[in-house]
Amino acid sequence: MLFLNYENQLLFIIVLTFSFWLFVSSIIIPFQPLKTRSFGISFILPLCLTSASFIVSVYNKFDAIALFVVAHVLLLINCSLVMLINKNSDSLRVFPIIPFILLGLGFYLSTMSIYTRLFWPIRFIVLITLVVNLVLLINNLFLKVKDEMMGFASLFILSFSVGLIILSGEVSAEALFLMALGYICAALYVYKNALLNFFNEYRQATEALKRMNSSIQTEVIKRVEAIERSNRKLLEKSKTDSMTGLLVKPAVIEKLNNFIDRSPRSTLSLLMFDIDRFKQINDSLGHQVGDQCIRNITNFIQTSFRKEDILGRYGGDEFIVLLPDTTAVKSFIIADRFRELIQTKSNPKVTISAGIANFPTDGKSASALIEAADKALYVSKEKGRNTVTLFSNLQ
């Protein structure tokens, strides 16, 4: 049969190609609905029986035609029943097995002695499947049920094509065209409900994974930022004095070294001062009063100097202030005004003694500047306290 003319050979290629794709897709594609899987598995019937008809056609044209027609009649019956059943019905569970049973029945029904008796039953079945699928197709069109529309269209067109082949006894160009169109519709139905569903599931899973990764990444960033903030707070806390909130000695020295390294040609004045007779205050009035004196001095320091000035507690009752871009003379004026402020405004009443060293005149390193300011402070103490001394005046 299939070697007789071009149409028959083309029909064979179309049927086997689409049947193979539909059957394999129904087996290997995961996450597809059971209804779609049962529909696709049904195409093992034309796949196997049409292959047999191709082999038989060399010897017996009648048997080849019988195999081809029976294959498609059984396909139409099984697929029509699958399409009629609700997609959530438990009865669909048996349909993936039925095509394999019908396969044996197909070989039996296509024998000459049986097939000749099925002349009218086959025509009646083809007519019924054609009418039923046409009605259901029109119903889906009106109701706009797109999921199953292509499945009913494929069965209607295949019924029409098989009917033409049965009536004419050969494969006409019209029957070939309709057969190809019917298989294309069947492939589109499986693609839309199986492959497309799989791709949608995959895309949704990928998007969900991206959202999850993004959420995790955002959470990780938040946690890292929180840790960094905590670390910065701990670092800042380690650099500040717990009582006064001023920088501790190592932090002030670090700032001084950074200034010298960064701006070796700039000028800076270092002011060092302490509270006069602070030990007597502690001994006579108590340490709580002494602590209050330190807090009061701190308040005056924080409100009396510029924002760019670096304020620190050098230790005990001793304080240090770095005055960037400030000459020795100007720093002396600033320090003396601050001394007068403490003398008049402090409560309890205290006085301070101060020493000033200037960079780079009095020292070119942090240690040299601190040593110079400390010597100037010592001279202020020897002068009778409550005074300010420039280290440059000592030379």
All structural domains of the chain:
6-207 (no CATH), 249-393 (3.30.70.270)
Structure confidence at residue 221 (pLDDT): 85
Q: With a cut of 50, list the residues of the chain below it in pLDDT.
A: 1-3
| Chain segment 168-208, per-residue pLDDT in tens | 877 788 989 999 999 999 999 988 887 666 666 677 778 88
290: left (phi over 0), alpha (psi -120 to 50) or beta: alpha
**pLDDT tens-digit map of 336-346:** 999 999 999 98
Please give the Cα distance from 266 to 99 (Å, whole number): 95
Cβ neighbour number for residue 53 with a 10 Å cutoff: 27
Which pLDDT value is given to residue 70? 93
Question: Tell me, what's the pLDDT at 295?
Answer: 92
Structure-token pair, residue 385 = 């306290």
CA dist 376 and 94 (Å) reads 104
Phi-psi region of 334 (alpha: psi -120 to 50; beta: other; left: phi over 0): alpha
Rounded Cα gap, residues 350 and 298, in angstroms = 13
Model pLDDT, residue 4:
55
Q: What is the pLDDT of residue 234?
A: 64
Residue 170, sorted as left (phi over 0), alpha (psi -120 to 50) or beta, turns out to be beta
Report pLDDT for 1. Answer: 42
